A and B are shown apart, each in its own frame.
Chain A
Amino acid sequence: MESKWGKIWGLIGLLLLNFVNNVSSLSLTITKVECVYEIVRSEGDIVSGNFVVVDHHIFWSSDHPGLDFSITSPGGDILHNLKGTSGDKFSFKAPRSGLYQFCFHNPLSTPETIAFYIHIGHIPNEHNLAKNEHLDPINVKIAELREALEAVTTEQKYLKSRDAVHRSTNESTKTRVIGYTVGEYMLLTIASVLQVIYIRRLFSKSVGYNRI
């Protein structure tokens, strides 16, 4: 008796394990349009993710309009639309199962690199199971705990990408400060030397005394 129920729970547990969906954080270079597709297996799954534009220096000149990002559901309607962003987080409850499309559009011709992460989380509930199985509430709690940890992991990946962007900004600031200052010194020296040379020439004998 014990072993039979043990086997049933084992099988149900293994079935539940199949629903752990996850995708690693990835970098992609976008030239015009890049789309990434994800399959959401059951409706009601929470899809969460974030993306950050890694080449942040393009935004310093404030000419770059930023990247466009859109999420399309399998039905064709656009769930989320962001124009001119340099990075964002998103989270939504999938209205239906199917293939979801995450598209990045680059308005300019220079390729940009983005780092993105998408996570689809599923918590088993009563509706998905067949009639003769019943749901152990502890499995639901474990799934909720797992989803909470995945939310922390998602946030960490976002923070890590933003930290990388800030680091590159700061390092470039340091280089530029030193570069511009040294350039300024050299310009100052050259300007003063030119001034002196000009004044000497004004007073030189060949030009003529009486001009001054």
Chain B
Amino acid sequence: MILRSVIMVVVVVGILSSASQALRFELQSGHTKCISEDIKSNSMTVGKYHVVNPNEAYPLPDSLKFAVRVTSPQGNSLHTAEKVQTGQFAFTAAEDGDYMACFWAEDHSPQIIMTVDFDWRSGVQAKDWSNVAKKGQVDVMELELKKLYDTVTSIHEEMFYLREREEEMQALNQATTSKMFWLSFLSLFLCLSVAGIQFWHLKTFFEKKKLI
């Protein structure tokens, strides 16, 4: 009896809260909006998008349709869809770089502004935890801790990446400093040599003219 009521409560609340949290933005008809994300190579990426219904009471009007295109940093199109109201895509990033998802809404005679709900997850967040849970009757707490472990690993990797970038920046700054040092010597040398050439040239010129 207790179990049944608990299940009821959990299922009801679960359904109410199961709409995945995502960011929303407004898309004006005739305009394009692009969102890009820096994704590391070999990380799994999952994206879902749908139009938000402005009126909960009525079904979604057909006029609210948009086109989507997801491109890799090289320019290859990873996912395209025309005149859709909802969709999803998933890919494994082949290289590091900026992956861009562009949405555009066609021109409509009264300008309509539609709200698009876009959920883009990559790396740790994209992993399908429900499969892991199903596989071995895994205890929920163990699942949570597995997730935390994955998060910690990704933090660790990110720290390595930041450290590497720091080193590169330091090398760049060193190179700039040494270049400035040598260039200032070169400019002094150039200045003196130009003055010397001027002097020598004018001296021979005046000697030839028999003025000196």
Measuring CB to CB, which residues of chain A are less than 8 angstroms from any residue of chain B?
4, 7-15, 17-19, 21-29, 34-39, 41, 99, 115, 118, 120, 130, 132-133, 138-139, 142, 145-146, 149-150, 152-153, 156, 159-160, 163, 166-167, 170-171, 173-174, 177-178, 181, 184-185, 188-189, 192, 195-196, 199-200, 203
**Residues B198 and A192 in contact, CB atoms below 8 Å apart:** yes
**Residues A26 and B140 in contact, CB atoms below 8 Å apart:** no
Give the interface SS of chain B, mostly helix, strand, loop or mixed.
helix
B158 close to A (CB within 8 Å): yes
A-B contact pairs, 24 of them (CB 8 A): A7-B3, A8-B6, A10-B140, A17-B144, A18-B14, A25-B37, A28-B33, A29-B34, A35-B26, A36-B23, A120-B21, A142-B141, A146-B151, A149-B151, A149-B152, A170-B173, A171-B172, A177-B179, A177-B183, A181-B183, A185-B190, A188-B191, A192-B195, A196-B201
**Residues B169 and A4 in contact, CB atoms below 8 Å apart:** no
Given A188-B191, A203-B205: A156 and B24 interface contact (C-beta under 8 Å): no
User: How many residues of chain B have a CB within 8 Å of chain A?
Assistant: 71
Which residue of the partner chain, among B10, B121, B129, B206, contacts A12 with CB atoms under 8 Å? B10
B2 close to A (CB within 8 Å): yes
Which residue of the partner chain, among A19, A132, A170, A184, contacts B176 with CB atoms under 8 Å? A170
Within 8 A of A (CB), among B115-147: 115, 120-122, 125, 129, 140-141, 143-145, 147
Chain A residues whose C-beta falls within 8 Å of the C-beta of B151 in the assembled complex: 146, 149-150, 153
**Residues A203 and B211 in contact, CB atoms below 8 Å apart:** yes
Tell me the complex Cα distance, A28–B209, Å: 71
Q: How far is the CB of A56 from chain B (nearest CB, A)?
A: 14
Among B57-65, B68-76, B77-85, B159-167, the stretch that binds chain A is: B159-167
Given A26-B23, A132-B6, A177-B179: A156 and B38 interface contact (C-beta under 8 Å): no
B180 close to A (CB within 8 Å): yes
**Residues A196 and B162 in contact, CB atoms below 8 Å apart:** no
**Residues A178 and B179 in contact, CB atoms below 8 Å apart:** yes
